[in-house]
Amino acid sequence: MFKLLTRLYYFISLAFKTRVGLQAENLALRHQLCVLQRCVKRPKIRPADRILWSFLSRVWPNWKDALIFVKPDTVIRWQRKRFKEHWTRLSRNGKPGRPATSKELQELIRTMSTLNPTWGSPHIVGELAKLGITASKSTVEKYMVRTKNPPSQSWRSFLENHAKEIVSIDFIVAPTVRFTMLYVLVFLSLERRRVIHFNVTAHPTAEWTAQQVIEAFPWDMAPKYLLRDRDGIYGDQFKRRVKNMGIEQVLTAHRCPWQNPYSERLNGSIRRECLDRIIIFSEAHLHRVLKEYFEYYNCYRVHQSLEMDAPERRMNQTVEEGNVIAIPHVGGLHHHYERKAA
């Protein structure tokens, strides 16, 4: 520090010297610097030297002409380093910046944007505010899931929004004791998971399938949508009959049974709870067994998706109504329980 003050004092004293004396001294100093530069490969630079030349570069326009022991780019690099260190000290001593976004909030934003593809970032910001969460628009846009294609509702949303107007149909195959195959066509109303019609045949055709649609929906009871797969049994005659009844067909994709989940779930229940436990002898026998099972299914079997109620809505009973008794169905394969006075 003392040497730096000495140099500043020397710089101020130059103002009182004559012009010839200054030029002679300048020539002598430059000659000594050239000799020193030949002898010393790399001079030692101290912090005071860096401060001095950083200061001169700001106040003296021709500082580059007098610089010999380092390159001008080196002085500029010193300035940038000092600038960086200055703001580093300020940031460490001051208050921290914006707090980091928690993992829970990131997942919540991703979930909202995935389940609601039509929502933009302002909508999500408003929804988070209703939950007491403050998030900026830029934060939401950083973590929300973006899709390349235009937003479209999922199959689940479509089924839930139109459940009252949708009937699902599907075939289920049942083997007999003689190793022949019988085909069961089941019509399921999605609103209450209620089986509204079924029939059995050994030789399903498009004409037979079309006739079942008429029997399932007499008069003006036809639904707005008919959900089915792309089985070839639904031929041209079936399609014309459905179209003439004012029903719009909703087809699932190829090899995507999950797009008709309610019928697939019903088919599994029929197999596990009925067909896998009974030996079928004939078409009439299968029709009679399924009729008894669907009566139990519609009126007494409870469903989780219906808040543990049956499709036909069972009344809750109280303890005062009597003792609990078991009522068998499908030959005692299933039971439902009621309270009756003794």
Q: Express each pLDDT in 21-69 by its tens digit.
A: 666 666 666 656 666 665 666 666 677 766 666 666 666 666 666 665 5
Query: d(Cα 221, Cα 216) in Å, to the nearest integer?
Result: 9
* Percent of the chain's residues with pLDDT above 70: 71
Superfamily of domain 158-314: Ribonuclease H-like superfamily/Ribonuclease H (3.30.420.10)
pLDDT at 297: 95
The bridge status of strand 194-201 relative to strand 323-329 is unpaired
Q: Express each pLDDT in 121-161 by its tens digit.
A: 888 888 888 888 888 888 998 898 877 665 566 666 776 77
Mean pLDDT of the chain: 82
Q: 180 pLDDT exceeds 90?
A: yes
pLDDT at 197: 96
pTM score, two decimals?
Answer: 0.57
Predicted confidence band of residue 210 (pLDDT cuts 50, 70, 90)? very high
pLDDT at 199: 97
Most confident option among 12-16, 130-134, 159-163, 290-294: 290-294
Q: 229 pLDDT exceeds 90?
A: yes
pLDDT at 10: 61
Mean pLDDT, rounded, for 168-172 = 96
Among candidate residues 182, 165, 145, the one with its CA nearest the CA of residue 282: 182
pLDDT at 153: 64
